[in-house]
Amino acid sequence: MPEQHAPLREIMRGMLDYIPAKIVPLLVSFLGVTVYTRFLTPKDYGEYILVITIVATLSALCFTWILYVIWRYFARYSKENLSEFLSTIITVELALFIFIACLWWIALFILERGRPLEPNLKMLFPLGIGVLATQVLSTFVLEVLRNSKQSKRYSLYASLVPLGTFILAVFLFTRSIPRVEALLFAMFIVSGILSAIELYRMHRMWKIRLFYVSKDVLQKMFSFGLPQIGVSGSASLLSIGDRYLITLFLGTAAVGTYAAGYALADYSVQIPFGILMLSAVPVIVGTYENKGEQAAAQVLHNVLSVYFIVLVGALFGFISLSGDITHIFLGKAFQSTVIILPWVAAGTFFFTLTQCAGITFQLKEKPMIAIYLLFFSAVFNLFLNYVLIPHYGILGSAYATLIAYFVYALVILVMIRRTFPPFMPWGTILKSLLAATCMVLFLQSVQTSIGTGIVALFAKVCLGAVSYFLIMLLLQERLVKIAVRSLFARR
């Protein structure tokens, strides 16, 4: 492979190690949605989504900025003082969690004084703080495993947590334990046990100490990490703010229906994107630091080429098969969510595009630009939801998602052009769109003859993927050939 393609080869080879970390949770998530929507009513599932949404928001807003610090400085401290670095990180996380937990209970007390919570929610929120604790530990463990290049252990841990949670939750469901509580309890137990095992192992390797703080590490956490709160908070508001407005206008049952469909659409794009970025980001950053902007722009051009080749095909295929997917993976009470799938999937596509292209702001050490753009998009998304939900129901929220993400992508790409060399692969984009359109037409022509059901869906997915990549080869897309060689060449 030519020298200029070496970073792409490194990215493609690295993706192999991380595939299980995304595929196994994906399969468990699809299976989980299928099983949970049969054990739970839409109201129960809506209550679960509200608690998990709050946990995810707190995690993103209060703890994700620490992950940026680990990613940025782990390699530097791994040469020396890694014990001090990790000890400071875990001590700050513990102190921050205690503070958040106190605020959580104060907020619950105030809510109870003003407007008493529903009995079910009153029981669920205490479990939520435990789930938050284990989620914080889990993300810490994964980030350390990733940066210490323990990719196989990363994939093992990332697979065992959702798989163990699903098995324990189903076991508790069959034992007549209150169902939503059983699901949250399973998340707490499985993630907590596995995180404790990994933390003990890390302690033995690197002598991590609680209640130890390095002033040097603390200074870097505050100067580099804290500004990332704005990025994480705005991104969370942008992606999940619609849940709260759906609750306000339509109730918790509608949230459950919307969230089930949203999850299916989101997974279809986020999983392949996540595999790509786990491998691509270190290569992009390393190229920028060692060879400069022009070289990094070329690597980003290749990464985006892979992005469009893979994700345009996945998006069009998912939209074409959305009816089959909904019928198979969701319970009868959730079938109406099929109407939102194409719009949410397309919106997620544009959002992930901004995440990929937006890495340039981190390279240029200008996170405030990303914060301003994300916050604007979040407010715009909430405004659209407020206007459209009363008229179109959950479909209005799906419309809002697509419009807000598309506008965000458009603005961020215009802003990047002013500060970074060009990197958009326009030729690959056009070829991907043409190949995906042909694939959809082909799938529509064979829908009736293949039939329905899980086996038929698998056959359609395989036929769609094969036809799509064959068309890309006929269109002489060079990176398809490079990607195939990278995946099957000897290490």
Q: Are 158 and 25 in contact (CB under 8 A)?
A: yes
pLDDT at site 490: 46
In a domain, 9, yes or no: no
Its pTM stands at 0.74
Q: Which stretch of 31-45, 241-255, 349-363, 392-406 has the lowest confidence by average pLDDT?
A: 31-45
Cα 300 to the chain's mean position, in Å? 20
What is the mean pLDDT of the segment spanning 113-124?
Answer: 66
Query: What residues have CB less than 8 Å from 308, skipping those under 6 apart?
Result: 425, 428, 429, 432
Distance, in Å, from the CA atom of 181 to the CA atom of 183, rounded to the nearest integer, reads 5
Domain co-membership, 219 together with 365: no
pLDDT at site 5: 62
Last residue of a domain, one of 173, 193, 226: 226
Instruction: Show the tokens assigned to 220.
Output: 């870097």
pLDDT at site 409: 92
Whether the predicted pLDDT of 388 surpasses 80: yes
42 vs 170, which has greater pLDDT? 170
Domain co-membership, 258 together with 145: no
Residue range(s) defining the domain that contains residue 141: 40-226
Domain co-membership, 206 together with 279: no
Identify the top-confidence range among 203-207, 284-288, 479-483, 486-490. 203-207
Domain co-membership, 222 together with 259: no
pLDDT at site 190: 95
In a domain, 357, yes or no: yes
Distance, in Å, from the CA atom of 434 to the CA atom of 312, rounded to the nearest integer, reads 10
Domain co-membership, 321 together with 431: yes
pLDDT at site 2: 52
Domain co-membership, 267 together with 317: yes
Last residue of a domain, one of 163, 195, 226: 226
In a domain, 26, yes or no: no
The maximal CA–CA distance of the chain, rounded, in angstroms, is 68
State the chain's mean pLDDT as an integer: 85
What is the mean pLDDT of the segment spanning 359-370?
Answer: 76
Distance, in Å, from the CA atom of 206 to the CA atom of 376, rounded to the nearest integer, reads 42
Q: Are 275 and 155 in contact (CB under 8 A)?
A: no
In a domain, 32, yes or no: no
pLDDT at site 189: 94
Distance, in Å, from the CA atom of 147 to the CA atom of 67, rounded to the nearest integer, reads 10
If pLDDT is split at 50, 70 and 90, which confidence band does 175 have? confident
Query: What residues have CB less than 8 Å from 60, skipping those under 6 apart?
Result: 232, 233, 235, 236
Domain co-membership, 205 together with 255: no
What is the mean pLDDT of the segment spanning 149-177?
Answer: 88
What is the mean pLDDT of the segment spanning 287-305?
Answer: 85
Whether the predicted pLDDT of 97 surpasses 80: yes
Distance, in Å, from the CA atom of 44 to the CA atom of 118, rounded to the nearest integer, reads 12
Distance, in Å, from the CA atom of 299 to the CA atom of 423, rounded to the nearest integer, reads 8
pLDDT at site 3: 54
Percent of the chain with pLDDT over 90: 33
Distance, in Å, from the CA atom of 65 to the CA atom of 215, rounded to the nearest integer, reads 18
If pLDDT is split at 50, 70 and 90, which confidence band does 159 have? very high
What are the tens digits of pLDDT across the range 253-262? Answer: 888 888 888 8
In a domain, 13, yes or no: no
Residue that the structure tokens 């009868």 belong to: 332
Whether the predicted pLDDT of 56 surpasses 80: yes
Query: What residues have CB less than 8 Å from 296, skipping those under 6 apart?
Result: 284, 287, 288, 363
Domain co-membership, 208 together with 308: no
Distance, in Å, from the CA atom of 60 to the CA atom of 266, rounded to the nearest integer, reads 18
Domain co-membership, 302 together with 401: yes
In a domain, 21, yes or no: no
HSE-up of 119 (CA within 13 Å, CB side)? 1
In a domain, 402, yes or no: yes
Domain co-membership, 366 together with 290: yes
Distance, in Å, from the CA atom of 121 to the CA atom of 269, rounded to the nearest integer, reads 31
How many structural domains comprise the chain? Answer: 2
Closest CA to 259 of 161, 349, 181, 330: 330
pLDDT at site 486: 56
Domain co-membership, 256 together with 215: no
What are the tens digits of pLDDT across the range 435-479? Answer: 999 999 999 888 778 877 888 888 999 999 999 999 998 888 888
In a domain, 238, yes or no: no
Domain co-membership, 210 together with 285: no
